[in-house]
Every structure is written in structure tokens, then in C-alpha cells.
Chain A
């Protein structure tokens, strides 16, 4: 026992190590969280540049800037980078920073493995991005990499894509195991499960989803690898396999994956809205159960991505109704957020603005999801810009806005300084306007029949495409303002109090701002 105490104290007196070794060798959850967040932002800009290339080409009908094959590489890489490089690592970064502070833990449960989870990512994405410079070009089969596009007709770089996905999977699984072990085992005395902040709850469930489905993704890319190089016929009907099998296995991973990207967002918004409405969260327990229900349903709805591939009628019907069921727990959540604000003393600081925009715009994305869930109607919408509009509404003003909201909400706790509220509001309004100009017209051109993943289009879609492209550039460049705001906040600004906001709930607001390098060396007592 004495040696144990001693080692902690010895560590406690040290601040962070000097120089680069701090980042390479660290076991500190805050360092690792920061690295995840910076990495995520770098990938967000990278994937964003690809999106702008796509939008620039689509500004006018006809081929202006890039060739169709490169266009396909851009849509593929944009999707993969945003999903695996931007959104997921951002949430893991927030989890690393906040979960130990929120549950009164000293750090993550397995700190060295934590650092490994992070450092795999830069290597994985270096390999993924290097495919752009390989003979035959980068993967060009869409982020969903359907066989046989990704097997029989794939460029040789697909092999590196497969191994990059394996590396990301290893990173995600280790990160998720770490988060689960931390939440289940490192809570301070008195922090019972039903007292956990919702961000922690949503991450617990997200981590479970990650551990359940990332291995399935590993399985499906392994089967691709075998089909391409070792003569198997999993996805080739000539040998008795089935290309549709690919879609089933992929979406068994893919649908829980989209909830992996939204459940932590629910958690963040559920932290922010009560603070700025100055009321307790309405319906805490129902929020927990709704999250768990959404996670459960995510495993039995996957084939709604495949209504048009030719499934037996009973399959279409089952997946249609199970998908519509998701609206129930999601509706509970939206209702609770609104009820939390009802008669609250609301103020509209930047985190709250992003959270409010999240509630409204995510709900729009949810409704278009309901439309897509109707199997007979989906035959019209399938693979059109309506689908693009739908998933960008849930991912950009959904997941990405929640990450921005979380970043503004916790920045003062991380840096000890307040960010510039005026610039924050500018960032919000530019993003809000940009995002809607970009994605709202896509609903219309989608319903009118414009297919997705096409570099050229018929003339009647020209106006809305031009508008969407303008919006994309507004949104894209306003993210540089975010970068400036964050750097300015790190370098100085008004000193933040420990509470930062007016009477917020949660252990993270009981520690100093900036949070000390080691938050709790002894567990705090939770009443």
C-alpha cells in the first residue's frame, strides 16, 4: 500500500514531461484526449478539402475540374476520412478528456493501451492517404466499398485500404474496451450507474456497440482480401457466394456504426442544454433507456440500407417496421431536450447555440430518415441526393455540431481561458447558414432524381447544385475561424472560473480551470 501511494505522489509532483516525448510516451488521459482532438480536426480539414473538390466539380454540369475516376476517389476518401478519421476520433478525444473527470477517476483504466489506441490512427491514415499516390489511384468504390466494385473491379491500392481499416478497427476496439473498463470500474464511491452524467452513459453504450461491430468490419474486409488475392468466392455467385452477402455483413457493422457516431452526440447535448436552460435534465432515466433501446434496435435494422437489392418481401417488411421503431426512443430524447428547455432561464452562449441547432437540424435528418425507412418509397429515393441530404443532416449539423458544442462548452475547463464569445457566435452563424445552404437543396434534387456519386448531371439540377456548392465553401472556410478561436483561447483570454458556467452540474466543474494534469489522485466522494 505504501509503495502504491508513493508512486502516485511521485507522479503527481511531475507536471507533463518536456518536449515531444510528452506526446509520444504519454499515459495521461488529457494529453491523449488532446491528441485525438487535434488529429480529428486535421482529418476534418483533409476530408473537408475533398468535399470542396467534389462541390467545386458539381458547381456546374459537365466535367470542369476533375476526371470521373478521381471524383470517385474523392467521394470514397471523403467518406472514410470523415467517418473514421474525424467524427469517431473526436468523440474518443472528448471521452478521454471528460469521462475520467466526470466519474471522479484519476485517468483511464488502461492508460498505456490508451496511448496505443491513439498512435495507431496517424499510421493508419498515413497508409490510407498514401493510396492517393499509388498506381491505379486510391479506392474509388465509395465509403461503403460494395463488392464486386471493391473486389473484382478495385484498384490495387484496395489491399492497403483493407489493412488500414484493420488498423482503425484495432484502435477503436482497444479504445472502446478502455472506456468500458473505466466507466464500470473507476467510478468514485457514490457515483452509482444512475448518477452517471449522460455523456458517460451514452459513451458506455457506444463503446459496447464498437466492440460488437468493429470485429464484423474486420471480418468483411478480410473476406474481401481473400476474394481478391486468395481465390475465394464469398462475394462471387460463380462460386456459390453472393455479392449481396457483402452488403449484409457490411451493414450489420454499418448501422450500429452510424449510432456510434450519434449516441455520444446525444450525450453532449444532454450535458449542455440543462446548463444553459438552468434546469435539471428532464427525464434522466428515460434518456438512459432510450439510448439503450436505440443501441439494441441498431442491430436489427441493417437491411434498410438495401431495400432495392432484392430481398424477400418479408425482409423488406421486417426491416421497414424495425427501422420505424427507432423513431420512438429518438422521439423520447427530442421531447426530453425540449421539455428541459421549457420554462428554463435560457441564455444563448455558443455551446448552447450549437446544441439547439443540433436538436432542430438532427430532427430534420431524423424525419428524412423516416421517409427513407418506408420501403416502397425508398425505391424512389435510393442512391439519390435525398440520401446524401439525409445522412449529412444527421452527421454534420448532428454529430459535428455536437462536437463543436462540446468543444466550446469544455474549452474553458481545458485551457483555463474563455474563448471569444463574439467570434464563437460568428462561427456558429456562418456554420449554421453554410450547412443549410449546402444540404437543404440536396433534398429537392434528390427527390427530383439526381443520383449520388456522379460527377456530372442533367441540366435541370444545375441551380440547386450551384447553391449547394456555395454553401459548402461558406461552411468549409468558416471552420478556419474555429481553428483561430481555439488557438486564441489556448494562448490567452479572460480567465475562466472553476465553474465556468452558471451553476453547471457535474464533477468536472468542481476542479480547477485549467484542469490539473492529474485530476483526482484520490477518489472524490459523490453524494
Chain B
């Protein structure tokens, strides 16, 4: 160990290109969103699209580079540990991102809405909308004209329950695939990863169906007061993370088809599996605190 030399990659064009792409994404998104609000047509959408395409190409190229380096054996055990720390802390940062929204949900439910309804030490805020009744889910908002509350909320025991089963099952199947990888039975890896991706796809499909139902039948929208706001921001960001995770699983699946990964050395696979379990755990929290309770 002590005599082992370090691996330091040579110069790379990806970081600066990725910064440009990120700038285009951010600037384009900002212009487009501002354009929507002021109802002017601008070039924001095009800039956003250019940024997205450039970023996609960069990610393919950059990850391609890393995969090639890994396949040609340039990485030491130490490098592997760096990747592990990197991924773990990245997932921790994601946990904190969701913590902000869960914190928001708890604050609103247990403090802000009851105070508006006249409870507790800050109950004077009830003077703002006299007669406002605190309830959760908040069906009648203080100002029903500006924020018309939902007529109904999602029944947790239909689509959400199904989605829970799908996502928990997918966490199992990805573990089965991991076991298969450790035993080097390639056909099983391909099979179980494919099952995982299909479960993920089904989850996303039902999530979309749920959103359509919420918007078209239940009156549960982003405008529907704080219940709709917390509902959509929590489930929406979770859905985005599932989408990202599905892409990651697909990449891993394609790499397995190409014969990548060895029973002893497959951190790329594990990183995606970790991420997938994280997404699953967040869903359990959502199912519990957003849908059931």
C-alpha cells in the first residue's frame, strides 16, 4: 500500500464544457419561465434545449471516459474508495434536499395551519381570515378565490399502495441482480435488471396517471393551497429522482449486456443500486406522511 503510486487524471475538457452547459440550462430555464409569466415569446426555450442536449452529450462523454479508464484497469482500490465516499455524500446531500420539503410539510401541518385556525400562542393570526378552520388535508384554504382548495385528495389505498408495492419490489429485484453479479451469472443479471427497469417504468406510469386524476377529477393542483403545494413538490421531486434512477439503471443494464462489471469489481452497479434504495426509502416516507397520515 505505502509504495503504491497515485492515479491523477490528465487534463480534461469535460468540466469547462459542463459548466457552459449548466449555464445554458440555468439561463434558458430562467428566460423561459420569465417568458411564461409575462406571456412574451423569447429564446429561453431554445437556450434551455441547447443546454440540455449539450449536457447529455457531455455526460455520455465524461462517463464514457471514466468507464474506459475503469475498464483498462487504471483505478486502484484507493480510487474505488474515493468513488464510494463521493457517492455516499452525494446521496446524503439528496437526503437533505428532501428533508427541506418534509420539514416544510411538518411545519405547515403541525404549526402554521393550526395557528391560522386560531389555535395556540399564535392563534391571533386567525384574525386575518376569521372563521377559517384548520384541517389536514387542507380542503378549504383561507382565500378560496386565490387558492381554491382540492375537492378530494388521493386515496392512499389504490394507486399509491400499488406504487409502493412496485417500488419495494424493484428494490428487491435490484438486490437479486446484484447477487447474480456477485455469482457471475450474467443471464440472471440481465433478467433481474430488466425487471427492475420495468417496475420503475410502471411506477412512473401510475404516478403520471395519478397526477392526471388529481388535476382533472379531484381539483388537486399546484394552485390548490398548501396541500397541493407540498403534495406536488414532494411527489414531483421524488418522481424526477425515480426518472433519473431509471436512466441510471438502463445504463447499467446496457453495460451488463456489453459484458462490463466483474464479480469483485463493479462499483458503478453498486452506486446505482444505492441510489435506487435511497429513492425507495424516500417513497416510504412519502407514502406514510403525504398519503396515509
Contacts and interface: CB of A to CB of B under 8 A. Distances in A.
Interface stretch (A261-269, A446-454, A474-482, A516-524): A516-524
A396 to B, nearest CB: 29
A173 B94 CA distance: 10
B96 A245 contact: no
Contact of B147 (A119, A163, A185, A238): A238
B293 interface: no
Interface in B90-115: 90, 92-94, 96-97, 99-101, 103-104, 107-108, 111-113, 115
A518 B8 contact: yes
A422 interface: no
A11 B9 CA distance: 9
A240 interface: yes
B233 A239 contact: no
A7 B7 contact: yes
A240 B3 contact: no
A237 B27 contact: no
Interface in A199-252: 211-216, 218-220, 222-223, 225-226, 228-234, 236-242, 244-245, 248-249, 252
A244 to B, nearest CB: 7
Nearest to B145: A238
Nearest to B90: A177
Interface in A404-422: none
B97 A240 contact: no
A132 B203 CA distance: 44
A46 interface: no
B138 A240 contact: yes
Interface in B8-28: 8-16, 18-20, 22-23, 26-27
B82 A181 contact: yes
Given A116-B18, A163-B26, A313-B121, A110 B34 contact: no
A468 B48 CA distance: 46
Interface stretch (A19-27, A340-348, A431-439, A493-501): A19-27
Contacts of B179: none
A106 B6 contact: yes
A343 B50 CA distance: 64
B259 interface: no
A319 B99 CA distance: 21
B8 A11 contact: yes
A167 B19 CA distance: 9
B221 to A, nearest CB: 8
A4 B34 CA distance: 51
Interface in A294-341: 310-313
Contacts of B73: 3-4
A494 to B, nearest CB: 32
B233 A233 contact: no
Contacts of A160: 26-27, 30, 34
Contacts of B108: 240-242, 245
Interface string B230-243: 10110000000000
Contacts, number: 260
Contact of B104 (A5, A223, A236): A223
B74 interface: yes
Nearest to B21: A123
B147 A239 contact: yes
Interface in A437-472: none
B15 A116 contact: yes
B60 interface: no
Query: Which among A3, A8, A156, A159 has the greatest number of chain B C-beta atoms within 10 A?
Result: A159
Contacts of B76: 4
Contact of B222 (A5, A122, A213, A230): A230
B125 interface: yes
Nearest to B92: A211
Contacts of A230: 222
Nearest to B76: A4
Contacts of B85: 109, 177, 180-181, 184-185
Nearest to A180: B89
B15 to A, nearest CB: 4
A291 B6 CA distance: 31
A120 interface: yes
A226 B22 contact: no
A245 B107 contact: yes
B93 A106 contact: no
B14 A120 contact: no
Contacts of A26: 11
Nearest to A25: B11
Nearest to B62: A112
B104 A312 contact: no
Contacts of B78: 185-186
Contacts of B26: 123-124, 127, 160, 163-164, 166-167
Contacts of A228: 37
Contacts of B18: 116, 119
Contacts of A313: 121
Given A240-B108, A241-B112, A185 B81 contact: yes
Query: Which among B34, B72, B74 has the greatest number of chain A C-beta atoms within 10 A?
Result: B34
B101 A312 contact: no
Given A119-B16, A229-B37, A518-B8, A310 B22 contact: no
Contacts of B223: 231-232
A85 to B, nearest CB: 16
Query: Which among A8, A17, A112 has the greatest number of chain B C-beta atoms within 10 A?
Result: A112
A237 B128 contact: yes
Interface string A149-189: 00000001001101110110010010011101110111001
Given A160-B34, A522-B3, 9 more contacts: A112-B9, A116-B19, A156-B34, A163-B27, A215-B100, A238-B147, A240-B225, A242-B107, A311-B122
10 contacts: A4-B7, A123-B20, A176-B89, A177-B90, A189-B2, A219-B97, A237-B142, A238-B129, A239-B225, A240-B108
A-B CB proximity, top 4 nearest: A219-B100, A239-B147, A240-B226, A238-B143
Interface of B: 1-16, 18-20, 22-23, 26-27, 29-30, 33-34, 36-38, 62, 72-74, 76, 78, 81-82, 85-86, 89-90, 92-94, 96-97, 99-101, 103-104, 107-108, 111-113, 115-116, 120-122, 125, 128-129, 138, 141-143, 146-147, 221-230, 232-233
